[in-house]
């Protein structure tokens, strides 16, 4: 038995149930399940064995369903597009503002992508590292498996999928830990330092602080090209929020003391 046959026999029922939940149509779920495994067979050589097979197939199945909706000019609702995790234990309560997040992060890019395709324009979709689960200690690349665990990450990922589905000239640019003009972490910490002698800042989340100026340069570099697709764009290096804050205060001459705490101690929900 080859790798694909083993995956087919093991996960056919799982994928069918997933699509049955998405479509609420037994016959359509059967058709889309067959199409999903046909696409999986063509992509099997690129599958990373260390990834969760169910999540990989789930992603293919969901994209297959979106293609079906597009071909048949069907409206896409929040209920149809919302994440349907294969593992029930991983289902989280969506944030109170899930409708607004869906409209901004998902439907907005979809509408823009449709208009851009109609007029032959390119589209840049700025996305986020929150499309990943957020565990591990190695840098992530464009080929790594997505698995968002928050409402924000799920709606941003859906926005990516809509852009791919509705546009042929797109640049999806994932970035992280942005700072520059406007509200951001750096300005928040500086503001808090004005009224606090000490601050408690999370020290077990790691990332790459990225200047919006540098991100804009990266996007400007892509725009004249026809090198469409998915890109990761951050500055170099890695730190945690607490050490980042200490560096901010060092560079601005602030005397506020930073005490590191854990994510659990902080207690805020994931964005």
- Extended beta strands in the chain, E state: 123-128, 170-175, 178-179, 198-202, 206-207, 210-211, 229-232, 239-240, 257-261
In sequence order, what are the beta bridge partners of 178? 210
In the numeric block, which tokens belong to residue 120? Answer: 């032959």
Whether 152 sits among the annotated catalytic residues: the reply is: yes
Block residue for tokens 């991100």:
215
Q: What is the DSSP letter of 106?
A: I
Q: Which of 16, 18, 152, 170 is catalytic?
A: 152
Burial class (CB in 10 A: 0-12, 13-18, 19+), 81: buried
Supply the residues annotated as catalytic.
152
């Amino acid at each position: 038995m080859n790798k694909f046959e083993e995956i087919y026999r093991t996960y056919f029922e799982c994928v069918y149930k997933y699509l049955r939940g998405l479509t609420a149509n037994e016959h359509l779920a059967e058709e889309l399940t067959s199409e999903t495994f046909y696409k999986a067979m063509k992509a099997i050589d690129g599958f990373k064995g260390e990834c969760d097979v169910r999540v990989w197939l789930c992603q293919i199945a969901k994209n297959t369903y979106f293609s079906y909706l597009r071909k048949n000019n069907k409206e896409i609702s929040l209920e149809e597009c919302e994440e349907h995790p294969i593992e029930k234990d991983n289902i989280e309560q969506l944030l109170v503002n899930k409708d607004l997040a869906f409209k901004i992060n998902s439907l907005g890019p979809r509408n823009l992508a449709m208009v851009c395709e109609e007029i032959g324009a390119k589209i840049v979709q700025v996305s986020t590292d929150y499309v990943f689960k957020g565990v591990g200690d190695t840098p992530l690349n464009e080929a790594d498996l997505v698995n968002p665990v928050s409402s924000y990450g799920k709606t941003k990922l859906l926005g990516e999928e809509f852009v791919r589905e509705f546009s042929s000239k797109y640049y999806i640019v994932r970035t992280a830990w942005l700072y520059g003009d406007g509200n951001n972490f750096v300005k928040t910490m500086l503001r808090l330092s004005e009224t606090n002698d000490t601050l408690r800042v999370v020290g077990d989340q790691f990332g790459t602080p990225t200047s919006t100026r540098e991100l804009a340069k990266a996007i400007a570099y892509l725009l004249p090209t026809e090198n469409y697709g998915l890109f990761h764009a951050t500055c170099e290096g890695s730190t945690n929020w607490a050490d980042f804050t200490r560096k901010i205060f060092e560079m601005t001459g602030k005397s506020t003391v930073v005490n590191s705490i854990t994510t659990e101690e902080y207690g805020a929900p994931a964005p």
